[in-house]
Amino acid sequence: MSRVVHVLEPDAPGCGPSTWRVLADLQSDDAVFVLGGRAAVKAVGDAGVVVTASVPTPLRTPRLAGRAVRRALVGCSPDRIVAWSESALVAALSSGTTTEVVGVVAAVEPRSPVIETSRREVAAVHPIGSETGPALVRRGWRLGSTIAAADLPVRGTDHPDRRHARRASIRGQWGIDDDRLVVAVTTDPVHGSDVSAAMTAAASAAVAGRGLCLVADPAGINAVASSHWLREGVGRFGGAPVGLVLDARVRDPKSIAYGIDVAAQVDFAPAVTFTPPSVVELRTWLACGVPVVASDRPNAASLVRDRVDGRLLPPGDRNAFVRVLTRLVDEPGLVTDMAHAAAATHGRGLPVRRPRWLSNSEDQSAGESSPENPIAASR
């Protein structure tokens, strides 16, 4: 088996805990370089990845990490380098290595990392999800085949028999002692969902008598501002109570899935360029038995079956989101049915096998599905 080195930047879009667990399943005897310090190495290691080396990133500039990557490569002599984000690609290419470099990118970054055009064209970049590819092409990357989320080893929660006890424990940490609807705002990439838009929709549903609670990443767009707005607005509008919990663990669906009823990807600001969500994170929510409400765009539509394991809404339609929240509060049985459908379809796990883009130089067909992959074969 050829020696492969993976380069991972844990803070990059599309490289959250869901992606770390995919890498852990695919790692085998491969080496893994983590761009970051001890905290980053520990977090990735806790997800099951065996980290070979920690590579510092001076001034948080990937291009400046090239020299450190080159030093780390001396003891590996790899046949291939797999970079899991644009920043990791830039760091690997800046090392000056002659080894083949392949990119696997689940989400684009707010700003494209700086590197010479000639170096960008060296690496073949495989987008995860069909929406990511066009954005990468516009930034000058040479596109390889598209990787479907259904072809990755995404697994559901551990010990589903303990769901009830863990649900009470997680909700207790958030101060929730009733059965109100709890909605997680997706966070990969962190700039892909607008927390204030979700908060406005939740408040609209609450005014109509449907109380619920949102869980969002403190680093999310307008997350802190939404918290301040909610605190100032307490008692100023009628209806049922609405809550907002800021918890960084929302980046890791498996860690809090038992306490979540629905995950939502929210993009309501038409003036802001749309950022495709990471299909790895969306599929992890589904595999954990959490229905997903998202805009009806290619990435989400490739996973979510509308009215079966989630809802697909017209992009930018806030009223549709309010109507969906209202119905989910009114019909808890519908949430349960969609949760069971999501876990049954996406939570079975996949046989861990070496994908073609990882094991050899042949491109994997974008529409290919293997008989070894029960989910891809059934879709």
Lowest mean pLDDT, pick from 158-167, 225-234, 311-320, 356-365:
356-365
Q: Among 60-69, 144-153, 212-221, 232-241, which stretch is predicted with the lowest mean pLDDT?
A: 232-241
Which range among 79-93, 179-193, 249-263 shows the weakest confidence by mean pLDDT? 179-193
- HSE-up (13 A, CA, CB side) for residue 300: 27
Residue 316 clears pLDDT 90, i.e. is over it? no
Residue pair 373/351 in contact by the 8 Å Cβ criterion: yes
Q: Are 281 and 256 in contact (CB under 8 A)?
A: no
Q: Within its chain, how far is the Cα of 248 from the centroid?
A: 13
Name which of 277, 346, 278 is nearest 310 in CA terms: 346
State the sign of the Cα–Cα–Cα–Cα dihedral 154, 157, 161, 163. Answer: negative
Listed by start position, the domains of the chain span 4-153+350-372, 160-346
Q: What is the mean pLDDT of residues 327-331?
A: 96
Same fold, 4-153+350-372 and 160-346: yes
Residue 60 φ/ψ region, left for φ over 0, alpha for ψ in the -120 to 50 degree band, beta for the rest: left
The pLDDT score that the predictor gives to residue 163 is 82
Asked whether the predicted pLDDT for residue 367 surpasses 80, the reply is: no
Average pLDDT for the chain: 87
CATH number of the domain at 160-346, please? 3.40.50.2000
Which alpha helices (H) appear in 178-294, and where do they start and end? 195-207, 223-233, 253-256, 279-287
Q: What is the pLDDT of residue 365?
A: 37
Q: What are phi and psi of 310, to 5 degrees?
A: 170, -170
Average pLDDT in the 340-359 region?
79
pLDDT above 80 (res 29)? yes
User: How confident is the model at residue 234, as a pLDDT?
Assistant: 64
- Report the pLDDT value the prediction gives residue 372, as an integer from 0 to 100: 37
Mean pLDDT of the region 195-220: 90
pLDDT band at 206 (very low <50, low <70, confident <90, very high): confident
pLDDT at 314: 92
Q: Indicate the pTM of the whole model.
A: 0.90
> If pLDDT is split at 50, 70 and 90, which confidence band does 378 have?
very low
Q: Could you give the CA distance from residue 303 to residue 292 in angstroms, rounded to a whole number?
A: 9
Instruction: Based on DSSP, count helices (H) and strands (E) in the chain, helices before strands.
Output: 16, 13
User: Highest mean pLDDT: which of 148-162, 179-193, 293-307?
Assistant: 293-307
Question: What is the model's pLDDT at position 369?
Answer: 39
pLDDT of residue 284: 95
Q: Are 120 and 141 in contact (CB under 8 A)?
A: yes
Q: What is the pLDDT of residue 214?
A: 95
Average pLDDT over every residue of 88-107? 95
pLDDT band of residue 241 (cuts 50, 70, 90) is: confident
* Band of residue 167 on the pLDDT scale cut at 50, 70, 90: very high
Top CATH class, 4-153+350-372 = alpha beta
Which of 49-58, 185-194, 341-350, 363-372 bottoms out in mean pLDDT, i.e. has the lowest?
363-372
Report the pLDDT averaged over residues 73-94.
94
| C-alpha to C-alpha distance for 252 and 43, rounded to whole angstroms | 11
Separation between Cα atoms, residue 125 and residue 98, nearest integer Å: 17
Residue 354, classified by CB atoms within 10 Å of its CB into exposed (0-12), middle (13-18) or buried (19+), is middle
pLDDT at 373: 38
What percentage of residues in the chain have a pLDDT greater than 70?
A: 89
Over residues 47-71, the mean pLDDT reads 95
* 360 phi/psi in degrees, rounded to 5: -150, 180
pLDDT for 374 equals 34
